[in-house]
A and B are shown apart, each in its own frame.
Chain A
Amino acid sequence: MNTTAAARLDRATFAALVAAVLMPVALGLIFFYVPNDVDQGFSQRIFYFHVPIAMTTYALFGWGALNAARYLWTGDMQLDLRSYVPMHLGVIFGTLTLVTGSIWAKVSWGTWWYWGSTELNTFLIIFLFYCAYFMLRFSVEPGERRARYSAVYALLGVGLIPISVLAVHLGQDVIHPITFTDHGANMDGSMLFTFLMSLAAMLSLAVAMYLVELRGKRLDDQVARLRRLAQGTP
């Protein structure tokens, strides 16, 4: 194993360790430390899962889109992988966002899905976009063309997100609990601390999963190349 591979292993392990420490701490804070919300009571604690997961999904998407742009700029196939892996993880975190959002909607609004909620609906559009990205990726033969097409579609998503937020506002009546306003966070200290800890836990988990999957995909590529060499095809 060469040194870069060892360094990469270290980074993945390090991220996984950080996630392994932060996640139980965050769970402990959520269930045993933070006080009940005055209006929504115990059920508001799902906020500490839902919002960090949603933010992680956006972060993954942002990273995927950034690498897509860098790929189109440089043509480096490694960047294609670095764009694909966050999009893949984004689907997993996106599904979790939809599920936790739906549970929260059921608890606080009495319905599994509230079509008047800007955030839920925007997220639904983005989730559909993520799924479409995969359909595109898996229907084009692997190679340089697939990388280009995936990158173009990923970048289109950068336009889709703000447009969707605006569109959903257009047809809007009410209410998503407003936690962050222009004047800062609308939370007391313990709640903000728990929230930030939970966000750090989710982000470190995502980073760990990203690094591990990236390693896996690179190994796949190497195995495929070796197999081609062994069979005598270029």
Chain B
Amino acid sequence: MSRRAFAALVRKDLLLELRGSEVVLAMVAFVLAAFVLFRFGLGGGRPAGGTRAATGMLWVAIVFTAMLGLLRTFAQEREHGIWDGLLAAPIDRALLWLARACSTCLFLIAVQVVALPAFWLFFLQEGPAPDYGVLVAAVVLADIGIAALGSLVAGLASAGRAREVLLPVLFLPFAIPLVLGAVSATTGTISPQTSGLHTVERLGYLALYDTVFVLFGWGLFEFVVED
């Protein structure tokens, strides 16, 4: 039952997105514009600050892009009264969160399929090629963290008076350690000599972040939804 309910919930999110294209296209346009902005900000010709500055920009852009998507999280449910139906359904409340986190994660990955090549094109094409396996692992792990925490925090923010303002304020303190870990992991894939840490440690940190906030999301979401 719960597996079917979960699949139905994720399918609903993906179908809505496929038919309406409300979120992913906007996120792609936003992240590309942000890259261009950062590229000009770092100066023409070769970007200042090297790989480290570039990956920092990448993750700041991704976090802001994710926030754009998270702002729409639960918006349709509230605007069209879907919540009442979902809450009346005999399913675990935590499943609502899990399904939302999964679809957010899939949206983020879809955005990054476009964003990462663009990032390489704008910032790194003259440098060494990254270790693609590690890069993909780092990006997916960071996406899981953003989606798990973001879906919980979006639930909290959606009841506030100024949802659009509240979400970034609630989310960003938690994004700082994630960005630190993701930048460390991504920089390590491009220039491994920058730090003594091993790839496993960097990815391990991101996995730990995911584990912690997946557990919190799973345990706490039932207190976020209305009775």
- Whether both chains belong to one complex is answered with yes
Report A's interface with B, CB cutoff 8 A: 72, 125-126, 128-129, 131-132, 135-136, 139-140, 145, 148-149, 151-153, 155-156, 159-160, 163-164, 166-168, 170-171
**Minimal Cβ-Cβ distance residue in A for B172:** A128
Determine whether the beta carbon of B181 is less than 8 Å from that of A170.
Answer: yes
User: Shortest distance in angstroms between B100's beta carbon and chain A's nearest beta carbon?
Assistant: 16
Determine whether the beta carbon of B184 is less than 8 Å from that of A125.
Answer: no
> Would you give the 0/1 interface string for B159-172, flagging 1 where the beta carbon is closer than 8 Å to chain A?
11110001001101
Query: What are some 22 contacts across the A-B interface (CB < 8 A)?
Result: A72-B223, A125-B173, A128-B172, A128-B173, A129-B173, A131-B169, A135-B166, A136-B160, A140-B159, A145-B226, A148-B223, A149-B159, A152-B152, A156-B152, A156-B220, A159-B213, A159-B216, A160-B173, A163-B212, A167-B176, A170-B202, A171-B184
B208 at the interface (CB under 8 A from A): yes
Main secondary structure of the interface of B (DSSP, over half): helix
- Given A72-B223, A149-B224, A170-B202, answer yes or no on A163-B177 (Cβ-Cβ < 8 Å): yes
Determine whether the beta carbon of A156 is less than 8 Å from that of B216.
Answer: yes
A160: contacting residue among B174, B181, B202, B224, CB under 8 A: B174
State in angstroms the CA–CA spacing of A148 and B153 once bound together.
Answer: 13
Determine whether the beta carbon of B177 is less than 8 Å from that of A166.
Answer: yes
| A166: chain B residues within 8 A (beta carbon) | 177, 205, 208
B176: contacting residue among A135, A145, A151, A164, CB under 8 A: A164
**Minimal Cβ-Cβ distance residue in A for B204:** A166
| B183: chain A residues within 8 A (beta carbon) | 171
User: Shortest distance in angstroms between B227's beta carbon and chain A's nearest beta carbon?
Assistant: 9
Within B130-185, which residues are at the interface with A (CB < 8 Å)? 149, 152-153, 156-157, 159-162, 166, 169-170, 172-174, 176-178, 180-181, 183-184
A139: contacting residue among B162, B197, B201, B205, CB under 8 A: B162
B170: contacting residue among A125, A153, A159, A163, CB under 8 A: A153
Q: Number of residues in B with C-beta < 8 Å to the partner?
A: 35
Determine whether the beta carbon of B212 is less than 8 Å from that of A159.
Answer: yes
Determine whether the beta carbon of B176 is less than 8 Å from that of A152.
Answer: no
Within B193-227, which residues are at the interface with A (CB < 8 Å)? 197, 201-202, 205, 208-209, 212-213, 216, 220, 223-224, 226
User: Shortest distance in angstroms between B161's beta carbon and chain A's nearest beta carbon?
Assistant: 5
- Given A136-B170, A160-B173, answer yes or no on A167-B223 (Cβ-Cβ < 8 Å): no
B180: contacting residue among A145, A149, A167, CB under 8 A: A167
State in angstroms the CA–CA spacing of A170 and B196 once bound together.
Answer: 10
User: Shortest distance in angstroms between B63's beta carbon and chain A's nearest beta carbon?
Assistant: 14
Determine whether the beta carbon of A132 is less than 8 Å from that of B180.
Answer: no
User: Shortest distance in angstroms between A90's beta carbon and chain B's nearest beta carbon?
Assistant: 14
User: Shortest distance in angstroms between B184's beta carbon and chain A's nearest beta carbon?
Assistant: 5
State in angstroms the CA–CA spacing of A78 and B7 once bound together.
Answer: 40
| B152: chain A residues within 8 A (beta carbon) | 152, 156
| A149: chain B residues within 8 A (beta carbon) | 156, 159, 223-224
State in angstroms the CA–CA spacing of A171 and B59 once bound together.
Answer: 15
User: Shortest distance in angstroms between B50's beta carbon and chain A's nearest beta carbon?
Assistant: 15
User: Shortest distance in angstroms between A38's beta carbon and chain B's nearest beta carbon?
Assistant: 31
State in angstroms the CA–CA spacing of A206 and B105 once bound together.
Answer: 42
- Given A139-B166, A140-B160, A159-B213, answer yes or no on A132-B173 (Cβ-Cβ < 8 Å): yes
Determine whether the beta carbon of A132 is less than 8 Å from that of B170.
Answer: yes
Determine whether the beta carbon of B208 is less than 8 Å from that of A152.
Answer: no
**Minimal Cβ-Cβ distance residue in A for B176:** A125
| B160: chain A residues within 8 A (beta carbon) | 136, 139-140
State in angstroms the CA–CA spacing of A167 and B180 once bound together.
Answer: 6
| B208: chain A residues within 8 A (beta carbon) | 163, 166
Determine whether the beta carbon of A148 is less than 8 Å from that of B224.
Answer: yes
| B153: chain A residues within 8 A (beta carbon) | 156
**Minimal Cβ-Cβ distance residue in A for B163:** A139
Determine whether the beta carbon of B177 is less than 8 Å from that of A167.
Answer: yes
State in angstroms the CA–CA spacing of A156 and B170 once bound together.
Answer: 11
State in angstroms the CA–CA spacing of A61 and B170 once bound together.
Answer: 17
The 10 closest A-B pairs by CB, nearest first: A167-B177, A139-B160, A167-B180, A129-B173, A128-B173, A159-B212, A139-B161, A135-B169, A164-B177, A170-B184
